[in-house]
Amino acid sequence: MRRLLVALLAGAWVATLLALVLPLPIALAGGRIGTEAATPVFFGAWLMLSGALYASGTALRMGVYALRSSAIILLVMALFAAWPPVDATLVGLAVGSAILALAQGWVAQRLLAAASAAGTRRGRQ
């Protein structure tokens, strides 16, 4: 139950971002996306991501995978925002997304390092 809840929570965060970014190439390529398009993307991504995260193992591992996945999505978002032609708003979005991505990557790294140090300590004891 604990792992399932963590998987649903982590999956929801990644799916929220994914449903924002996944349809975007269509719009940037000149296509049209209707108002209802993101609904199946969000719920589909949430289900699949939660399942994949649940299968990945411990809550720590799920957290690290979710943080890294969302960091990658945010970096893709930053790349799309920085795609020319750009204006000040888009540069701001690109920089903001990149900072948020790096922050999540850092937290994931920090969690792994702390868990690894704790494991080493337990091993020594």
Positions touching other proteins (CB under 8 A) are 1-2, 5-6, 8-10, 12-13, 16-17, 19-20, 23-24, 26-28, 30-35, 37-39, 42-43, 59-60, 63, 80-81, 85, 87, 89-90, 92-93, 96, 110-111, 114-115, 117-118, 121
Q: Minimum distance between the CB of residue 76 and other proteins, rounded to whole angstroms?
A: 13
Provide the sign of the torsion angle of the four alpha carbons 80, 82, 83, 89, taken in this order: positive
How far is it, in rounded angstroms, from Cα 10 to Cα 125? Answer: 33
CA angle 80/14/50 to nearest 5° reads 145
Nearest CB to other proteins, comparing residues 102 and 111: 111
> Taking a C-beta distance cutoff of 8 angstroms, is the pair 80, 28 a contact?
yes
Q: Minimum distance between the CB of residue 26 and other proteins, rounded to whole angstroms?
A: 8
Q: Minimum distance between the CB of residue 108 and other proteins, rounded to whole angstroms?
A: 14
Residue 6: helix, strand or coil by DSSP?
A: helix
Nearest CB to other proteins, comparing residues 39 and 55: 39
Query: Two tokens at 31?
Result: 């296509």
Q: Minimum distance between the CB of residue 38 and other proteins, rounded to whole angstroms?
A: 3
